[in-house]
Amino acid sequence: MNYYSLHHKSPISTFKNAVVQGLAKDRGIYFPETITPLSEDFIKNIGNYSNQEIAFEVIKQFVGDEIPSNILKEIIKETVSFDFPLVKVDDNIASLELFHGPTMAFKDVGAKFMAKCLEYFNKGNDSEVTVLVATSGDTGGAVANGFLGAKGVNVVILYPSGKVSDIQEKQLTTLGQNITALEVDGVFDDCQEMVKTAFLDEEIQKTLTSANSINVARWLPQMFYFFFAYKELQKENKDLIFSVPSGNFGNICAGIMAQKLGLPIKHFVASTNVNNTVPNYLIDGVYKPKPSIATISNAMDVGNPSNFIRIQELFNNDLETLKKAFSSYSFSDDETRATMKAIYNNSGYISDPHGAVGYLGLQKHNLQENEFGVFLETAHPVKFLDVVEETLPVKVEIPEQIKKVINNKKVAIKASSYQDLKNFLMN
């Protein structure tokens, strides 16, 4: 499989080069040259396959022959080694829980897959590669865990000071070994801009790759759980509507990729907090990135989502075609808290702020009688403990995955500018 830059000014790339480079030389993100739908027979009989078998069928065309099938199957085995349950919260709405992995966030899937691919590609290479990643919350912990101890790979995580939850911060600042955290004086967009600038810096770019969802190996595996959900929902025999809490828009873009592969999803809703760049674009047709605003759903605090250009590409940059299959709505913190309460009062289900925003998207869509809605619960409520326990009359039990890090000592390096990052990388 070959990949091209969405800025169209860089040479065609292999899967390996796209993973190792992360970002094309023209600063564009990579996109697959072809998308071949899976067989109708496979989709129809998906219930006969295990999650590992489904994941292999979904991803193999995008890897091609660059990773042998037996190795790719082992990578997948480690990537989807936990459950992805659907929990009904209403007659026609279910939560797709993506937080049963090691860091209790949906990004465990992409982070582990990418880590194992990069480790395979770097095998036998004497030089080390530095994985550079910006995080608004959950990406950092997932990448840190996924790459922990990976041979020949150093990980540098940039996160906005004071704008991630305490547990999220512990997950990315306490592991040590080959993981280093840089605490940035700014917002997520500042972190992301520093990462992108580093990729253009000729003095350091040859040793860098990205583990944000701009990297194809982080982005594409997110297709898996849309297939897993469909496997469970076939019996509903209804049109499926997926509402995805969206920040950098990699997750919902992967869902649309799953649709292009033949998964019968009727409509996608990109549910955002007050960082409403994409909802505004769908209204006036003008894409206007802006500085991000801090909210209680901090993993979505993104003012210039990197993956939206991929979504545009999937719809041939035709806004009207996009709007037929894709909606996007913005919600405030007050609406989010009220919805967390409503979900809990109606069903006893504890949602985190991001899941509540996803649920709001389904409400805004106004499900019809023949439609079944799924909102993605992207992180365990414990990741946002203060918000959840302030909003709901509950005491959230601390899972074992969190107990392992919650009392560890934070170690982070302060950074206030790109030069601080460059100095660290050079030294």
Give the residue numbers marked as catalytic. 107
CB contact at 8 A, 131 and 143? yes
**Closest listed residue to residue 228, CA positions, set 263, 188, 271, 201:** 263
Q: What single-letter amino acid sits at 103?
A: T
A 10 A CB-CB count for 120 gives: 17
**What is the Cβ-side half-sphere exposure of residue 423, based on CA atoms within 13 angstroms?**
9
Measured distance CA(46)–CA(124) in Å, rounded: 38
Residues paired with 244 in a beta bridge:
270
Token pair, residue 131, equals 């994985």
Measured distance CA(344)–CA(71) in Å, rounded: 43
How far, CA to CA in Å, does 196 sit from each of 89, 133, 183, 309?
Answer: 40, 10, 17, 16
How far, CA to CA in Å, does 251 sit from each of 133, 198, 297, 318?
Answer: 17, 24, 16, 21
Measured distance CA(229)–CA(30) in Å, rounded: 27
Measured distance CA(188)–CA(191) in Å, rounded: 5
CB contact at 8 A, 289 and 303? yes
Please provide residue 266's backbone torsions phi and psi, each rounded to the nearest 5 degrees. -75, -40
Measured distance CA(49)–CA(94) in Å, rounded: 22
Sheet arrangement for strand 13-14: 13-14, 2-5, 30-32
Tokens 């759903």: give the residue.
297
**Closest listed residue to residue 93, CA positions, set 240, 255, 256:** 240
Per DSSP bridges, beta strands 2-5 and 13-14 are antiparallel
DSSP 8-class letter at 381:
G
Measured distance CA(171)–CA(179) in Å, rounded: 11
**Closest listed residue to residue 67, CA positions, set 3, 120, 114:** 120
